[in-house]
Structure 1
Amino acid sequence: MQEWLLPIAVVLGGYTVLGLTGFGSALVVVPLLAWNWPLPEVVALTLLMDVPASAFHSGLNWRRVQWRELRRLLPGMVVGTLVGLWLMQHMSARWPLLLLGLYVAAAGLNALRPRTTLQGTVAMGWAYPVGTAIGLVEMLFGTAGPLVVAWLNRRLSDVQQMRASTPMIITAAAATVLLGMAWEGRLSNGLLWQRWTVLMGVALVGVWLGHRVAHRVPAARLRQIICGLLVISGLMLALGALR
């Protein structure tokens, strides 16, 4: 039981963040679990939890989900997944860890930057390359949430619509990636499903807790703390890969 205490705490914290903000679970879960478990297994486990957890979150906020944004991104997400499958066969285990650490740290730093002006909307022609980037990052690291938020932040003016729509797009991205993994036989590991069985319920509880406090806790302050932790964990993961 002792060996499960850290994974349970990490998953509960990560998916509470998802319930509160609509994204960020993988940015917490993947770097921290990758310290003890192999990165490809952690990514697969996180994706398997992301699909039901993100769908659960969207169900709690069903009326605010903007389905048209998913339709625009989906073709590119499929292409990005295929590119990610090819890259995983040509990259050593060290470099994905390094890239993941730098990516997480950069995402945390970017989220900490204050917004001084209202940004304009992005032209629809960018939906295909952005969708491709989302599929690629989700395939390699299981952490495409910041890319989804960056896109929706320029597409939607209603913060609650963005919070509700982000998990829906993550659900589709994760499901697309899981199909690619299943095709390659990467989901046949019995230990993977054992871990999923133990942690999936914890993830759903985290989403519910985050949703309950979403309108009671100052989300901006909490997000600053979370993003600071993301920067630290990302840098530590990158240093670990270099060693």
Structure 2
Amino acid sequence: MARYALGVEYDGGDFLGWQRLSKPGEPGDETVQQALETALSFVAATQVDTVCAGRTDAGVHGVCNVVHFDTDVQRDVRGWVLGTTSRLPPSISIRWCVPVADDFHARFSAIARRYRYRILNRAVRPALARRYVTWERIPLDVDAMNIAAQALVGEHDFNAFRTVHCQAPHARRDLQSIAFRRDGDEVWMDVRANAFLHHMVRNIVGSLVLVGRGERPPAWIAELLAGRDRTLAGPTAPPTGLSFLGPLYPGLFGLPDEVTA
């Protein structure tokens, strides 16, 4: 058996999230994993199962999610990339394929994961970018959001920022960096952590937007973190503005630079 890693790009707007459904759904109830495994299985002429670095929610996009799969089928990397992409819907493509060692694991070998959240901050709603940004008409104070967000850096219990449906055994995560910046009408948040809880990024954004609007002081974020009470935090931000930039791995695995720490 050989093991391969794939870099997968997708527009999450057409899917019910990454993870395949335990039972077949109605037409249109497709997930990214289902579409990917169907295409890989066609190329391999046998069932192929995948493991991913990050299971994104419905509507969340992937810039370079990483998966691995095992197979005894002989195909060159060009065949895996082009053959699989030719069987995928237009909203998914394979960016690259790399043979990896047996001890590589798309999820457990990752040392960090990175997300970006894009907010269109103007008086008029978006038309062209509506699938990839979240609209906020009230002017945001990016400096206040940056100051507030730094309270989240470090290893903490993030219970205040995870959904009640989160199945993680504990809420401790190491948030390594978080920063906001403005580019014209857009406000971007880039965040990196060893791992994330269910809805953690979107819940953080929902609370920090309240700070940006001036409805809460920057110190409020630290109070939420210490209080560990999700009911006191801000709303969950919409999925449309969120993209999974991808995981990071140690250099020993020989993966492309964009996913190597």
**TM-score normalised over the length of structure 1:** 0.28
More strand by share: 2
- Which protein has the larger Cα radius of gyration, Structure 1 or Structure 2? 2
Higher relative contact order (CA 8 A, sep 6+): 1
**TM-score normalised over the length of structure 2:** 0.27
More helix by share: 1
